[in-house]
Amino acid sequence: MDDFSGRIAVITGGGTGMGRELARQLSAEGCHVAMCDVSAENMAETVALCEADAPAGTRVTTFVADVSQEAAMVAFGEAVRREHSTDHINLLFNNAGIGGGGSFVTDGRDEWETTFGVCWGGVYLGTRVFMPMLVASDAGHIVNTSSVNGFWASLGPNVPHTAYSAAKFAVKGFTEALITDLRQNAPHVKASVVMPGHIGTSIVINSGKFFGREPKEMSSEQLADVRTRLGQRGLDVSAASDDDLRVGMQMQAEMFRDAAPTTAAQAATIILDAVRAGTWRILVGDDAIELDKLVREMPEIAYDPEFLPFLQARGLFMFATE
């Protein structure tokens, strides 16, 4: 599928980040877009950006939905059929994601399962709901967003990262299994797995809002937990006030978005170019490529402290958390 003009794309998590940039670039080519997100306000901003560059007649629609809820996703599918007057779609980007539930041992079950439900359940439900519409097309492509944490379940030594990593491993395995399934049963539909490194998105900020952990709103009890976690990583914050911690956390979230080596727009371009080329395994960012090589070279120590110098030697500082 090397031409997206006149095609129909469904994008989850279209309100910000890579989802927004996918919508912008696809609609600029004349591809009709149906997106969902939990934020109507964010999607309205995406629509305005799309409409500024899209050719006349290009449809861009929105639907508020939590991708982890089957009823919401079924309703989204019905809305796509209705608002685009179609029985088929051509492109499905299961992109929505959230961060949380780092520790299986100490974090609450609700947050762990919510994170897993969005990051894995959203991909499963998106594919389940829209599969009939993909099969009904003359050409279809499923693009599932995993992560480098889909092949390396870590953010560095001493940083538990279980819910997100487990979900992203599931996304990767599911997508790879779909390749054979689709080849046998729907050969005109392809599947790709996206594994981004550090991309400049608002996932840290959005996850904090979703779980009620915006730095400016955090209670002293929540901040005490932050202090404990930082201490476990070897960081002494005993001299920092609660307000100092709030400012530091906000700055860290903004730096994740603004100082990334790859922008969301660049990531979207890499993904769409790979879809055009029919690539099933899409590493996004030089850091993702380097980390993939490193984990393959030395899998036995990938989760040990002695892995840290190898990360640093290759400039993978975002993963080198101590």
Query: What CATH number should be reported for the domain holding residue 45?
Result: 3.40.50.720
* Residue appearing with tokens 């002293």: 220
HSE (side-chain half, CA atoms, 13 Å) at 63: 24
pLDDT higher at 204 or 33? 33
Strand 32-37, strand 140-145: pairing: unpaired
* Residue 118: Cβ-neighbour burial (10 angstroms; 0-12, 13-18, 19+): buried
Give the DSSP H/E element, type plus range, for residue 11. Answer: strand 8-12
Residues 6+ apart with CB under 8 A from 239: none
Burial of 272-311, coded b for 16+ CB within 10 Å and e otherwise, reads bebbeeeebebbbbebbebbbebbeeeeeebeeeebbebb
Mean pLDDT taken over the chain: 92
> Taking residues 20-29, what's their average pLDDT?
98
Better-predicted residue by pLDDT, 260 or 225: 260
Mean pLDDT of 150-179: 94
Does position 231 have pLDDT exceeding 60, yes or no? yes
Residues 142 and 251 in one domain: no
Looking at residues 139-164, what average pLDDT do you find?
Answer: 94
Mean pLDDT score, 18-41:
98
Same domain, 70 and 38: yes
Judge contact between 126 and 276, C-beta under 8 A.
no
95 pLDDT tier (thresholds 50, 70, 90) = very high
Examine the domain organization and report whether 181 and 268 are in the same domain.
Answer: yes
- Whether residues 223 and 129 share a domain: the answer is no
Question: Is the domain of 191 the same as that of 271?
Answer: yes
Tell me, yes or no, whether 121 and 229 share the same domain. no
Q: How many helices and strands, by DSSP H and E, does the chain display? A: 12, 9
- Buried b / exposed e along 45-63 (16+ C-beta atoms within 10 A): ebbebbeeebeeebbbbbb
Say how far residue 37 (Cα) sits from the centre of its chain: 12
The beta strands (E) that lie in 185-271 are given as 189-196, 199-200, 262-263
Q: Are residues 226 and 314 in the same domain?
A: no
317 pLDDT band, cuts 50/70/90, is low
Write down the pTM of the prediction.
Answer: 0.91
Q: Are residues 254 and 293 in the same domain?
A: no
Is 90 inside a domain boundary?
yes
Q: Round the CA-based radius of gyration of the chain to a whole number and report it.
A: 20
Residue 81's domain comprises 8-201+263-319
Asked if 216 and 195 sit in the same domain, the reply is no
Same domain? For 35 and 95 the reply is yes
Q: What is the pLDDT of residue 320?
A: 44
91 and 196 co-located in one domain: yes
- The answer to the question of residue 3 being in a domain is no
C-alpha–C-alpha distance, residues 229 and 269, integer Å: 36
